[in-house]
């Protein structure tokens, strides 16, 4: 919002005021335009409401979202077995990619740990004569950089087996660190080459 405000103040042509015709539109006309977002809004409420309401876990809520979309497509008369086949094919490709990333990351971490890499890193970090919060910040910096180039699953399998024991030794809560990790991994959702959020946004646009 701040960016848009500054750009429009510097160049008012980029954010022109509403035309007289647009101002004259009735609520009925605007209501017709709002109908297009009712179904997506209901699906969002179904998914997020079931999570925050404690009705379903994240995975179960995802299944409820799929069911809601399927019902919406059926009610709109747009359901076809070809569409279902294409959707399932894309889902399998995405899941297959994630699974192979997980397999590759697990193999890398396994070899890394067998060679003593986790003990080396743990000993090096614990040997630093700095405050524990500095160690946390170094970990966050490592996660930030890795998130720019790797998928979050690969980052998790590569770093968590090393970082979590260190966090425990420092006296911090692993759950608290897990929240920090999840927030930090939003970088991997936004930053190419993976950046799934960017691809989702492009698909919606």
Q: What is the pLDDT of residues 162-188, one digit of tens each?
A: 888 889 888 899 999 999 999 988 887
Q: pLDDT value at position 39?
A: 84
With a CB cutoff of 8 Å and minimum separation 6, the contacts of 140 are 180, 184
Query: How many C-alpha atoms does 31 have within 13 Å on its Cβ side?
Result: 3
pLDDT above 90 (res 114): no
Distance CA 53, CA 58 (A): 11
* Helix, strand, coil fractions of the chain, as percent rounded to 5: 80, 0, 20
Q: What is the pLDDT of residues 8-61, one digit of tens each?
A: 999 999 988 888 777 777 777 777 777 778 888 888 888 888 888 888 888 889
pTM over 0.95: no
């Amino acid at each position: 919002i701040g960016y848009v405000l500054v750009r429009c103040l510097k160049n008012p042509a980029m954010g022109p005021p509403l035309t007289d015709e647009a101002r004259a539109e009735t609520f009925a006309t605007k209501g017709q335009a709002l109908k297009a977002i009712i179904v997506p809004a209901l699906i969002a409420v179904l998914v997020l409401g079931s999570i925050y309401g404690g009705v379903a876990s994240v995975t179960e809520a995802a299944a409820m979202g799929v069911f809601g979309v399927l019902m919406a497509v059926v009610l709109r008369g747009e359901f076809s077995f070809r569409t279902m086949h294409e959707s399932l094919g894309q889902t399998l490709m995405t899941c297959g990619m994630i699974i192979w990333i997980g397999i590759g990351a697990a193999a890398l971490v396994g070899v890394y740990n067998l060679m003593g890499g986790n003990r080396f890193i743990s000993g090096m970090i614990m040997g630093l004569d700095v405050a524990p919060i500095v160690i946390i910040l170094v970990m966050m910096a490592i996660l930030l950089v890795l998130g720019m180039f790797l998928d979050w699953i690969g980052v998790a399998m590569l770093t968590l087996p090393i970082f979590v024991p260190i966090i425990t030794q420092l006296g911090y809560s692993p759950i608290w660190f897990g929240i920090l990790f999840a927030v930090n991994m939003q970088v991997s959702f936004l930053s190419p080459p993976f950046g799934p959020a960017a691809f989702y946004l492009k698909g919606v646009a």
